[in-house]
Homo-oligomer: A and B are copies of this chain.
């Protein structure tokens, strides 16, 4: 079969499964998730055997240590996937909720019903655990899923797919509700993102290059997370103790995460009071600093180039810029930032209102670390990603972000006259 017809077949099956999933009860979906957890538990030796094939191939291909590590399905990772499935089962089911039901002057009752999106395509790199994360969130939200993992994880993903299929079968749900693409042909991705008749939305997970490529070529909507170039702005009316704690936490809690601060903006009036103290704390943690001219007059720091202000380091590195007022900070964030998560530290009430209104980011923080931008911290339970888009879902995307709302109209023979 050609890739074209294989993918058409996958798409048709997914669409058909999604029609059945709409009828699935919460209990059935949860039963499937628990059964998948059990299937993974019993398949531990098989999963590791199949994963070993991927690791052997990966070593032969010369994958670097970080990639091999993400690829490995050790016992702890399998336990993590099992635990993840049980957590998703315990989350409330968003599907079917009817809200805002009102009588209209015409006599009809109008409300909004929360419904699955339909078919979701997930494209991700070689982290087999994403297969379970994505499948479980999509299933719980009533969506059929087509999963396309990195080719380096081929055998691992197929083994996980078998456990997923057995869980679906146990619960009496269609096995096509979760399909894992069984070819490593790259054309499969090209086809997956250009079948609007079968796929309602694409969620790419991986590096910026992958996501930009997919967004450019897709013919269906894409829920995407590009980068997290997050800022903390320390205002001249900040409580400097809070500012110190927040600026330190936002940068040094973890370096490789999208909600880490990458640029620190400091009001000139308080720069001398706080920057040397912060610089010492960063030095202790091994954080490399680059800064604007004025910053470099106060602390030891390399030269920050124009490029630095745009950069998400994902590393122990920070760019620092002095600003003369909040407006300059807001303009800088809106221009150079990635509309992910940005914070102000200030005790001035009016400034908090303006900052919240004017900063165009998916999360805007007042006197809190950007590190809070996270599905678990926000109470979503789990997230399929953090969207830096404005359309549909913005910020951490959990189960609700994988649904839509349709209008329902209840009449009793009502017709429209005018």
Contact = CB atoms under 8 A, between A and B. Distances in A.
27 contacts: A23-B358, A96-B357, A102-B379, A104-B378, A106-B377, A110-B378, A113-B356, A113-B357, A215-B219, A221-B391, A245-B415, A246-B413, A249-B415, A356-B408, A363-B409, A366-B410, A366-B411, A368-B409, A368-B414, A369-B411, A369-B414, A369-B415, A369-B416, A372-B414, A377-B416, A394-B406, A396-B407
Contacts of A379: 102, 104, 110
A365 B406 CA distance: 11
Interface in A340-370: 343, 352, 354, 356-358, 360-369
A372 B413 contact: no
| Copies of this chain held together in the complex | 2
A223 to B, nearest CB: 8
A392 B391 contact: yes
A343 B416 CA distance: 14
Interface of A: 19, 22-23, 96, 102, 104, 106, 108, 110, 113, 115, 117-118, 200-201, 215-216, 219, 221, 239, 241-242, 245-246, 248-250, 253, 331, 334, 343, 352, 354, 356-358, 360-369, 371-373, 377-379, 389-392, 394-396, 404-416
Given A200-B391, A391-B117, A395-B406, A360 B22 contact: yes
Contacts of A377: 104, 106, 108, 416
Nearest to A403: B390
Contacts of A96: 357
Contacts of A253: 415-416
Given A22-B360, A368-B413, 6 more contacts: A23-B354, A113-B356, A249-B416, A377-B416, A394-B404, A396-B407
B245 A22 contact: no
A392 B392 contact: yes
A interface secondary structure, majority: mixed
A198 B177 CA distance: 38
Contacts of A215: 219
B366 A408 contact: yes
A377 B23 CA distance: 29
Contacts of A396: 407
Contacts of A23: 354, 357-358
A361 to B, nearest CB: 7
Nearest to A334: B19
Contact of A367 (B216, B221, B413): B413
Given A23-B357, A104-B379, A117-B391, A364 B201 contact: no
A75 to B, nearest CB: 22
A392 B404 CA distance: 7
A216 B217 CA distance: 10
Given A106-B372, A415-B246, A364 B221 contact: no
